[in-house]
Structure 1
Amino acid sequence: MMSKQVLLTVLFTWVIFATAFAQTSRLEGRVSDAQNRPVVGFSLQLKGTRYGTVTDSDGAFRLTDLPAGEYRLLGSGVGFRRFDQAVQLTDGQTTTLALTATEQMEELQTVEITGRRETDYKTDLSFVATKTATALKDIPQSVSYITKELLQDQAIFRLNEAVKNFSGVNQFSFYNDLTIRGHRVSGGDNYASLVNGLRSNSSFWKQNLTPHLERVEVIKGPASALFGNTSPGGTINRVTKKPLDEARQSLSFSVGSFNTFRSLADFTGPMNEQKTLLYRLNLGYENAMSFRDLQYDKNLIVAPSVTFLPSDRTRLNFDVVYQNSNGRLDRGQAVLGNGDLYSVPISRSLNRTNDYLKEETYNITLSLNHRFNEHISFNSAYMKTGYEEDLLEHRSANTYAKDGAGQNIPNLVEMQVFIRQRRWFDDNISNYFNLDFATGKLAHRLVIGYDYAQQKLAPGGSQLVARGYRNAANTGAINTFNPARAKDYLLDSQGAPVPNVAHFNLTEANPYYMADMSKYFYSRTDYPPTFYYTQGFYAQNQMSIGKLKVLAGFRQDYFTEVVEYKTAKERKVKQQALIPRLGLVYSLTPNINAYATYVKGYQPQVATTIANPNAGGPFDPLVSRLVEGGFKSEWFDKRLNVTASVYNLELNGTLYPANQPNQPDLLTQVGQEVAKGVELDVIGQIATNWNVVLNYAYNDATITRSTTESQIGQQKPNAPKHQGNFWTKYVVSSGPLQGIGIGVGGNFVGKRLTSLNTAQSTPAYEVFNAALYYQMKKFQIQVNVNNLADKTYWVGGYDYIRLFPGAPRNFLATVGYTF
């Protein structure tokens, strides 16, 4: 009740605050083409400010609450040349303009090559959801997004920190590990994450970083009709920043809690007078500790990008994203064996001081867009991804230590050691044609394409493991303790088995030290080279007539795994699937569209087994079906997007831990899961200097058919039934407080089970955040404070030995300069 009162008070205060500083100057008008036809969706921006809008169905636009002064009005739109015009605004008056947009043969690229110019929370187009530049309200599927402006305002550096802004998306753990509509999406699986619409492999352990990103999109439900092997809950697409044809440079420096230091740079502009060669360079560096003992991160990002525009019809882009990360792998918090979540400080990790995790990742992309004429264009892209892992870790063995009777010792955690090195390489090729034409009154946007992707685990991958209890001769170790065969073990003076790796004492005052690695008995696991590839042919037609738009498409997908790769027993295991997609969009009013969709998903069960030969199998592929409907609308002169959806997502064949003795990596395949829910996403501007983000999701994701009867009816792990978020930012545009801004927000997540085979759960929580901003000419000072109430909470967990607590109250101060 208190949380609701606080929320209402904050929002009411904002309304009063915004009204008090309202301005009376207005800029309005109409944009038309050479034939005096209205130009719809034309973007207008007052240069150097946050004031912007797009034209409505009549070509009209309106900007209100503007301070008086001289401005440059920038305009851009699909199929039209950009313009730059001087505007004089007088306080208390309305300035009216009649603008003519000049057509050009080239339309906005269907591959996202040229950078986004908008500077607010709202975006109007998505490229990846249909492989065409399609207005979000015309896509018959829910697509959530956040822009770089929201990432900056919330001081977000990692993707997991940003997912609270998406309905139906939440953290599963500390790692690059999420759930979307109740279904798990993990890094390391190249079907789970896209970069500019192409498959990308990334770390499972460390979260994806954001400084080089223009925006992040989530396509809800399976996207298999376009991309083949994708996650059923949804697909995350990270869009990198692209070069602009105007010079922009910025630097920022941040310091904050947990000895955090960050430095970011973003440079872009033309490289020649003709503006046919553009560049962008993003740099990022982080050196930070953590609220978790012994944890730290040193990250370096270098992301150059070059765009070549040899003609109005051809665009070529080359970009690289290189990331280097050094730190430790945090396996989570363990609590005492009595199950009290508050019995051990959330700061306590299970590491030793000589642990480390070193990772190196790169994406190299070359993309081409060529428009033959106003009706036909060709798009081609290639991306190479490399990922290397070098790991030494002390971690729990997922159980408590055993006494001589085989009973748990509640304050001691049984430990194990992993020393591992692996390298993966991924290749993606995407080619497709876009054809725009009409048959009578029916307009068509046809996509026909072929893509190919492959992944290789390089030779030489291997792992040393030290675990279990020492044998009686003290010459080796036995993985588990069996009190009935106590004579087989080395016992201490109390009759308890002697561990191969010393137990971790949860109640010891200072449990950290540098371990002597030479004292352990190791077993070795080799990761032989592996190889799989997938390819598909697809066609999609977006048809429109009057107020109705129909999207129909299919993909024929072929998946091949090379079993026992590079051995005399090498053989190919093949799977294939025909994947349909059907969607409808109907314009109820000029600003409200209703939509409905049906799509199937298909995912071969290889990404897990290829990384873990002890997982079992072979397994049947995941097959999913999504039925979804809802409304998409625009408000406040199209400054605010609202999407409401209801869905039913059925999935067959998910893998879960089998929980079998002596087989910790063994997986089992669950029969059927169904996720049913409602989602709401609101993002954009209520006024030109008042931004807002609001979302809510109800998700009933349960097991409906299983070989384990007790699982039927259970909510899926780390899939809350209820979750939501709000964030709002207001900036004073004139008067004595001009340039001062304030942001407030909060998010809540409901109770969640940690796994299917246990009653253990993490409690519901609410967290509130705030920020202060001050902008003076080219400088901006920003202070973010998170977890204002210093609440103890958990973002996820596998069990009570592997819990993932949220950070306590913390702050980050940032100084930025734009020139």
Structure 2
Amino acid sequence: MQKKEQRRAPHVFAALLASLSLPAHAQPQAASDAAHAAPETVLPTVEVLGGSVGNSYHRSEVSGAKTDLPLRELPQAVRVMGRETLQDLGASRLDQTFAYVGGVSAQNNFGGLWDNLSIRGLAGDPNLGMPMLLNGFTANRGYNAPRDTANIERIEFLKGPSAALYGASEPGGTVNVVTRKPLWKAAHAVEAYAGSHDFYRTALDTGGPLGERVAYRLNLALEDRGGFRDHVDTRRSLIAPAITWKLAPATRLDYAAEILRHRTPLDRGVVAVGNRLGAVPRERFLGEPSDGDVRVENQTHQLILEHALNAAWLGRMGISYKNGTLEGYSTEPQPALQPDQRTLRRQRRYRDFESDDIGVQAELLGRLSAGGLEHEVLAGFEAWRLDLNQRMLRANPSGSAPYAIDIFNPVYGQPRPALLPSTDTAEDQENLAFYLQDTVHLGEKWRLLGGLRFDRNEQTVLNRRTGTRTRQSPNATSPRVGVSYLATPRWTLFANAGKSFRPNSGADAAGGAFDPESGTATEVGAKWEDAVRSLGASLALFNITKRNVLTSDPFNTGFSIAAGEVRSRGFDLDVSGQLSANWRLSASLAYIEAEVKRDNLLEVGARLLNVPKLSGSLLLMYEDALAGGGRYGIGGGLAYSGRRLGEARTRAQAGSGEDAFELPSHTTARLAAYWRITPALRLSLDVDNLFDRTWYASSYQRTWVTPGAPRTVVLGLQAKF
């Protein structure tokens, strides 16, 4: 890798640690109570180490909304997925959860090098992926490996616009990952897994007090995944320490870190012959094995200070720093097969990318009475800086040496074409924001939530090859308002509306920065929760419009302009929780019409990539005690996805009568079972794609189609000590 001139952020981080500390995820009253509690109860969460929290899929709290309102009273659709669901799904990675959340679908994952999803039909930046949060801090600006679940306590899918709280985001929703917290009672667990396609994984979860005022948590994971794709192996490791220090009865300092290393070949998947998938087996790799691995590495550090000013008010300060690198060679297919429908031309690339992201937050939360009404007030400040460095060399051969491969009879090891300079840019973004949120209790039946955020963004893009430097200062004001009506003790009706924005990365043909995307979303729905808060459901109808979407420049081939407009509307349903003492359920259903409304190149009315009109899931588990002692559980799941557009459809294709390229619908089944031999020893079995169906997870174009895994069996052993 080239020497990094921009790697100064660790020094900035160290300096800021000396003067700062905060935020973002504990609820005000809970944090206040914890701050005054004895050391052994300083954390508001209670966790069974190495396994589940409780025995239900349903959660009544959501920290990403930054309000004390219970989930049933919040005027927003949210799906919270805890350790129980992750365990029953056998999910070691975040993307294994997407199919079990209403309105969420997988998107192009950059050849297996990052997580990418759409919520309610809308995906994120094509160069960086979907915005996500980690403990309330923006977590995936820059380059990020697929997230491991070893240190995840729960995943909050916050549907609808979140810009009024978090700034740059998608109007369809965002994801807040909440990590596992230190333990005040010593406990330790180790897990080992082995499965199909040379899959091996070990994980350690350990925690306990280091004194009366200090506690720790450490999660480790090592994974070696052979995979079902020829020549595509994956190795990854995670180190995630966390420390809590009770500085005083009303003051607490939390530190959490993640060091994630991910190594795998960049794999664009299989190709379609014409519009037909299946001609090429799902195992076939069409790159070059000699390219080796692409290496993605992340280091994340968060430091949060909370201080209870009194019984009603809480202050938080915090800092987050994240470094990401992506480096390696790849061989990637061109957009179409040659006329013989078997020769695939390819290009070779070398990427050397790095990102440094540092952010600071400060918040004041409290309760007050005004005008005879109860208010829960949040006032916050945020500043962040992102440095993106992209250097890419590329060879795009043609003529007598096209660097092609026969998709039916591949021969590897061809002479490598010479790489030439292609991209060499440095992009800096600086943002300063202020935000307010007020949650008002309008008597016993009504809740009103209003929020407003102002962002001032400075974006500079330097093209090192040409010396061109461009600047812009896109400011944004993001309002949100929502109302809930508690119709009965179990039923809630709600509605909300909000705006969003997100800067577009990259540059146009003239080297200028793009105008930021802007979005508007409305939502109405209903929620239900049983009397003991162990089972809940949420149904929402939505309508979203997004403008300044990047689209092809009609006058400059290979470049983009911010001129497109898309719309998504439909409904999503989530049901989760405990049906009885023995049965627990997670179910989802979504219908989405996501389409192009304006574009220079694409067909107006065409659907958006990888978004099925109809999708749904069901996960059902049964548990009981064994006559001779111990406990067992058995269950399974189904995930359905309808047909999806697999390649952007142009006006020219539509005018010629050419059929759109689509991914077929699919249903996959899974089986899950466990035997708790003793309270400290557990044996598990997971079978994914039980009936070994051929299916396709996502696509970017007909020569970049990601096939889903065949039947996969994983046997696990979990021990506590």
Aligned mate of 2:207, from 268, 287, 298: 268
Match of 1:166 in 2: 101
Counterpart secondary structure, 1:588: coil
Q: Which residue of 2 aligns with 1:455?
A: 386
Q: Once the 2 structures are TM-superposed, how far is the Cα of residue 353 of structure 1 from its aligned partner?
A: 1.6
The answer to whether structure 1 residue 464 and structure 2 residue 365 are counterparts is no
Letter in 2 for 1:352: E
Write the letter of the residue equivalent to 1:381: G
2:546 aligns with one of 651, 654, 663: 651
Residues 233-289 of structure 1: per-residue CA shift (max 9 Å, x gap) = 2111111111122222111100001100000110112111x2x21100000000011
- Alignment correspondent of 1:554: 452
Specify the alignment match of 1:701 in structure 2. Answer: 594
In the alignment of these two chains, the number of paired residues is: 670
State the 1:706 CA deviation.
Answer: 3.4
Q: For 1:168 and 1:150, locate their aligned partners in 2 and report how far apart those are by CA, in whole Å.
A: 18
Aligned-partner SS, 2:97: helix
Conserved? CA contact 1:187–1:201, under 8 Å: no
Q: Which amino acid is the alignment partner of residue 595 of structure 1?
A: F
The higher-RCO structure (CA 8 Å, 6+ apart) is 2
How far apart, CA to CA, are the structure 2 residues paired with 1:787 and 1:721? 22
* Corresponding residue for residue 708 of structure 2: 806
CA gap of 1:249–1:718, structure 2 versus 1, over 3 A, is: same
RMSD (CA atoms): 2.7
Could you tell me which residue of structure 2 aligns to residue 359 of structure 1?
296
Alignment of 1:55-94 (within 5 A): none
User: Is the Cα–Cα contact under 8 Å of residues 156 and 177 in structure 2 kept in the other structure?
Assistant: yes
Q: Name which of 395, 417, 437 aligns with 1:540.
A: 437
**Structure 1 residues 760-809: Cα deviation after superposition (integer angstroms, max 9, x where no partner):** 11111111111111002211111111111111111111222111111111
Question: How many angstroms does 1:189 deviate by?
Answer: 3.4
1:693-735 deviations in whole A, cap 9, x for unaligned? 0000111112223345x72222211111100001011111253
Deviation at 1:113, TM superposition (A): 7.0
1:199 and 2:134 aligned: no
**How far apart are the structure 2 equivalents of 1:636 and 1:729?**
21
- 1:779 pairs with one of 678, 681, 698: 681
SS at match of 2:72: helix
In the alignment, which of 407, 414, 417 is matched to residue 345 of structure 2?
414
**1:381 maps to which of 294, 301, 318:** 318
Q: Which residue of 2 aligns with 1:155?
A: 90
Aligned equivalents of 2:116, 2:478: Cα separation in 1:
26
The aligned amino acid for 2:232 is Q
User: Which residue matches 1:10?
Assistant: none
The SS at the match of 2:451 is: strand
Name the CA distance, whole Å, in 2 between partners of 1:422 and 1:755.
Answer: 26
Q: Please say if 1:123 is aligned against 2:29.
A: no
State the shift of 1:498 in Å: 1.2
Q: Which amino acid aligns with 2:397?
A: G
Closer, same or farther: CA 704–108 of 1 in aligned 2, 3 Å: farther
Identity %: 25
Kindly provide the amino acid, as one letter, of the partner of residue 91 in structure 2: I
1:530–1:671 Cα change, 3 Å: closer
- State the alpha-carbon separation in 1 of the partners of residues 343 and 144 from structure 2: 25
Segments of structure 2 that go 5 or more residues without pairing to the other structure are 1-26, 48-52, 651-659
1:598 to 486, 493, 497: 497
Shift of 1:105: 7.6
Q: Paired residue for 1:770, among 636, 658, 671? A: 671
- Structure 2 residue aligned with 1:226: 165
Distance 1:232 1:239, change over 3 A: same
TM-score (norm 2): 0.88
- Secondary structure of the equivalent of 1:340? coil
Pick one of 468, 480, 486 that aligns with 1:587.
486
Distance 1:207 1:615 in 2: 33
Task: Work out whether residues 313 and 371 of structure 1, in 8 Å CA contact, stay in contact via their aligned partners in 2.
Answer: yes
Question: Does the 8 Å contact 1:335/1:506 carry over to 2?
Answer: no
In structure 1, the partner of 2:632 is: 740
Q: Structure 1: how far apart are the matches of 2:619 and 2:117?
A: 21
What's the counterpart of residue 528 of structure 2? 633
- Inter-partner Cα distance in structure 2 for 1:624 and 1:749: 26
Provide Cα deviations, 1:308-343, integer angstroms capped at 9, x if missing partner: 11223111101110001111111111133x432111
Which residue pairs with 1:343 in the alignment?
A: 279
CA 1:248–1:189 in structure 2 vs 1: closer, same or farther (change >3 Å)? same
TM alignment of 1:89-104, pairs within 5 A: none
| Matched letter for residue 629 of structure 1 | V
Structure 1 pair 657–788 and aligned structure 2 pair: CA distance change class (3 A): farther
* Alpha-carbon separation, structure 2, partners of 1:659 and 1:391: 32
Q: Which residue of 1 aligns with 2:6?
A: none
Change (3 A) 1:564 1:670: closer
Question: For residues 561-597 of structure 1, what are the alpha-carbon distances to aligned partners after superposition, in whole Å with 9 as ceiling and x for unaligned?
Answer: 1243899875641111221111111111112221110
1:533 is displaced (CA, Å) by 1.2
The yes-or-no answer on 1:320 pairing with 2:213 is: no
Aligned to 2:377: 446
Q: Give me the whole-angstrom Cα distance separating, in 2, the residues matched to 1:639 and 1:287.
A: 37
- Answer whether contact 2:143 2:324 (CA < 8 A) is retained: no
Match of 2:418 in 1: 521
Distance 2:710 2:510 in 1: 36
Equivalent position of 2:518 in the other structure = 623
CA deviations on 1:498-529 (whole Å, 9 max, x unpaired) are: 1242x111111xx3534543xx2321134232
1:451 positional shift: 0.3
Measure the CA separation in 1 of the matches of 2:577 and 2:249.
32
Give the Cα separation in 1 of the matches to 2:161 and 2:34: 36
How far 1:422 sits from its partner (Å)? 1.6
CA contact (8 A) 2:551 2:564 kept: no
- SS of match in other structure, 1:410: coil
1:797 and 1:81 map into 2 onto residues whose CA distance is: 44
Moved more, 147-156 or 691-700: 147-156
Question: Which AA in structure 2 matches 1:765?
Answer: H
CA deviations 1:440-478 (Å, max 9, x no partner) are: 5411100111101211024xx522211122xxxxxxxxx
Q: Is the 8 A contact 1:187 1:193 kept in 2?
A: no
| 1:645 maps to amino acid | A
Larger radius of gyration: 1
What is the letter of the counterpart of residue 559 of structure 1?
Answer: N
**Normalized against structure 1, the TM-score is what?**
0.78
3-state DSSP class of the match of 2:98? helix
State the distance in 1 between where 2:30 and 2:258 align: 31
For the Cα contact (< 8 Å) 1:427–1:455, is it kept in 2?
yes
Mapped pair 1:251 → 2:190: yes
Q: How many Å separate the matches in 1 of 2:513 and 2:414?
A: 39
Does the 8 Å CA contact 1:145/1:166 hold for their aligned counterparts? no
Rounded to whole Å, the distance in 2 between the matches of 1:432 and 1:267 is 31
Q: 2:614 is matched with which residue: 712, 719, 722?
A: 722
Which ranges of structure 1 fall in alignment gaps of 5 or more residues?
A: 1-76, 83-102, 402-407, 470-496
> 1:732, 1:738 within 8 Å by CA — same for their partners in 2?
no
Q: The residue matched to 1:249 in structure 2 has which SS?
A: strand
Query: Residue 137 of structure 1: SS of its match in structure 2?
Result: helix
| Residues 600-629 of structure 1, C-alpha deviations (whole Å, 9 max, x = no match) | 111222x3x16xx76975433211111111
Q: In structure 2, the residue corresponding to 1:589 is in which secondary structure? A: coil
1:114 CA displacement: 5.5
Distance 1:190 1:448 in 2: 29
